[in-house]
Structure 1
Amino acid sequence: MKTLLVSLDHTAATEHTLAYANKLAVRWPAEIVLLYCHPTPAEPLSDAATAAVLATEEQRLRGLVERLRYQQLTRQDGRRIRYSYRLHTGCLHDHVRAEAARCGADMLVMSLEHVDCGRAEAPGNHAAAIRALVDCPVLLVPPGRRSLPNHLVFSADFSTLPLAVLPRASALAEAFPAPLELVQFYAPQERSRRRALKLALGRAAAQLTWPEVATHLLEDDAPLEGTGDFCARTKAQLLLIAPTNQAELLRYFDACYTATRAYHTRIPVLVLPSTAPAASVTCCDKCAERLGQTEAQTPRTLAKIAGL
């Protein structure tokens, strides 16, 4: 049984994220683990008060689940999905890695416009921070109602893409069994590499298990803009990317693209892991301070153990 870890918050887009995850869970099929992190209040609460807050939030989630599963799915499909609930206090950054490992998540599904630590974060910043913490694909769902994709685009530099990415991408063919187009861009000054790039593109296509794979080698000195234009021209409904670092992922959701509602910010984006998760990522000064206190205590703890 596949597992979708679905991170929810209190934004209006949460409903759209869960509705999309529901459809994906029926098609794959998969179990859904709902993860909610309640912002830490300014004044510390007692354990009993904290438990009461989380119990209230869980009831809220259950109400949302029951409403969506029968409003937007057939009764038979709605009954087929298995849900479990994981609620914590603190930030998503504090818990997402452990929760993904605990449930063996095959994919993390979250809204592009997510609230964490009780505040809204720029879409790219938040996506990059969370992606650095987990070792599974991350599906970023923008606001709005949408159906599952029937046309996919995978944009990458296939000549340098780590080989481990392709089998992980193929594992998702069952979830998204639509025609897949591989797109490789090269700059005008790289024309001498066309043959090598075309061979790399062909090797990548041969390793993917989608029922229908097409390849495109295109000249463009701005690959990101070229990717958006290609997705718009072909009316793609899902974009797959495999950025090798956070800076590359951040460029996809730069403020200029979100402000102008560029095409690739208006369709779900599936971020494939191409690097190992970071050791630690903090999203705000409060988290960084807490992480620093923990790291400072570690040597003292080890010294005590050694003394014993």
Structure 2
Amino acid sequence: MNASELGLPMAVPAEGLPARVRIHEVGARDGLQNEKAVVPAVVKAEFIRRLAATGLTTIEATSFVHPRWVPQLADAEQLFPQVSDLPVELPVLVPNARGLERALTLGARRVAVFASATESFAQANLNRTVDEALAMFEPVVTRAKAEDVHVRGYLSMCFGDPWEGAVPVAQVVRVCRALLDMGCDELSLGDTIGVATPGQVSALITALTDAGVPVSALGVHFHDTYGQALSNTLTALRHGVATVDASAGGLGGCPYAKSATGNLATEDLVWMLRGLGIETGIDLGRLVATSVWMAAHLGRPSPSRTVRALSHQEQ
């Protein structure tokens, strides 16, 4: 499938937006960790290779969490060596010092820790308070930086929590500052249950920049539970954010947030960015074909509207 034959949107650039956006692809990790069936490592590796061939430059590969908690990613040691030769960034999630050591042993150069903005989710996800979780991450980040490894700090429940409701902006800012102060290179602001609206996104990014957090250190991670992921992303772009998390085919959600639906689909994001004249370096045709291929392995159609529209056009 040739991207030039897809009937792509007419590019009409808008003022005040980044010229280029880096898409942080999370489908191979955040997407597949929520599958009921375990996808074989060889299929995951082929998925990552196909994603790399689309022009994506950052593809989150796996998680070095204990297999008891995420059995779908228990094959991290088998998977990572199969893709480590790719000329792309391959971040991996490390929940603790043990996970970091496993990742470093395999040569990982980009890692991520996964914090929470709320006490309820910190307890559900990490069995710790917010501050106890931060204390656990500090030596992990320090060790990673000593090895000159790039560290991303994920922050869940930035806009709403299923147990606590709306999350105060100041609460999110505090945890973001703590992650940056301990050495994280970038932050990903997560709308874990998909309840954010553009006003909330604007308020949080404004508060973060007012607190001295550079917008260049921020990425956004939206779920599409209420169909707001693209509008929230556009709001973040208008504030200068140029890193956006997305999942090929719209795979994934959050296993600890029952109301969460899938992540923002990478194809839907690329379609919007193309229409705005924003560069991504991604071949949309190849990306759609990759998601159709993975959907066949999973035994169901992709939830991405763009995948459905463009793959239907091809038939």
TM-score higher than 0.5: no
Rg larger for: 1
More strand by share: 1
Q: Which has the higher contact order (CA 8 A, sep 6+)?
A: 2
What is the TM-score of this pair, normalised by structure 1?
Answer: 0.28
What is the TM-score of this pair, normalised by structure 2?
Answer: 0.28
